[in-house]
């Protein structure tokens, strides 16, 4: 079967390709400055073709955030699946999240951009929902870690979840400032080791 051109892709595939195009552009550009004209040009389409699948730019950004949430949460869930040790599961989630960012460097730019917006938008709400869902998974593992003695009983689950996500965000921000996203994989193990040391039970 001949390969379909981008102009002849089914609607659901076209939407997915458009979302991936936005994330690719966000890897090298400020997401707030990405125009629908630039997206259409990147995909070799007209803006009219783009708007047949996303009636507004806000609708497209919301779909991008939904794409990120679905794939990131699925990724960390798979990483932790079947691991009995809560701390080992947390480490697997941490490294899996880092891998996701290395593979999709436009994602943190999109997330940071949406969370910093003053106004409430569907995309910003989706980003908040992602953080909340992620935090719930972390808190559940941290509670289990306390029950089995891997995590100190005095650890605050909410604060530990915030620190987990904030640590990843800090690593990503540093890599973005230095222009070396590839260093994330090299730095992440030592950084997680510090996080783990602060969480470990002293008994």
- 112 in Cβ contact with 159 (< 8 Å): no
pLDDT for position 1: 32
Q: pLDDT of 71-92, one tens digit each? A: 999 999 999 999 999 999 999 9
pLDDT for position 40: 87
Average pLDDT per run of 10 along the chain, which is 203 residues long? 48 84 89 87 83 85 92 97 97 97 89 81 88 97 96 95 95 81 88 94 53
**Phi, psi torsion values for 119, nearest 5 degrees:** -85, 155
For the chain, which residues make up each domain, given as ranges? 57-199
The CB-side HSE value for 45 (13 A sphere, CA atoms) comes to: 21
pLDDT for position 201: 60
pLDDT for position 177: 78
pLDDT for position 16: 87
What's domain 57-199's superfamily in CATH? Answer: Tetracycline Repressor, domain 2 (1.10.357.10)
């Amino acid at each position: 079967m001949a390969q379909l051109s981008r102009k002849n892709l089914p609607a659901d595939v076209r939407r997915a390709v458009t979302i991936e195009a936005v994330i690719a552009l966000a890897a090298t550009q400020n997401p707030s400055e990405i125009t629908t004209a630039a997206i259409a040009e990147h995909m070799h389409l007209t803006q009219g073709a783009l708007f047949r699948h996303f009636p507004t730019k806000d609708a497209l950004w919301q779909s991008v955030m939904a794409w990120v949430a679905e794939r990131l949460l699925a990724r960390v869930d798979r990483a932790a699946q079947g691991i009995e040790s809560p701390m080992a599961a947390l480490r697997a989630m941490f490294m899996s999240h880092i891998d996701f960012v290395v593979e999709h460097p436009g994602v943190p730019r999109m997330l940071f951009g949406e969370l910093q917006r003053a106004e409430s938008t569907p995309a910003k709400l989706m980003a908040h929902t992602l953080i909340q869902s992620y935090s719930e998974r972390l808190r559940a593992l941290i509670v289990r870690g306390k029950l089995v003695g891997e995590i100190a009983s005095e650890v605050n689950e909410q604060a530990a979840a915030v620190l987990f996500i904030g640590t990843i965000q800090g690593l990503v921000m540093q890599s973005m400032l230095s222009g070396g996203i590839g260093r994330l994989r090299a730095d992440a193990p030592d950084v997680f080791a510090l996080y783990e040391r602060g969480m470990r039970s002293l008994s």
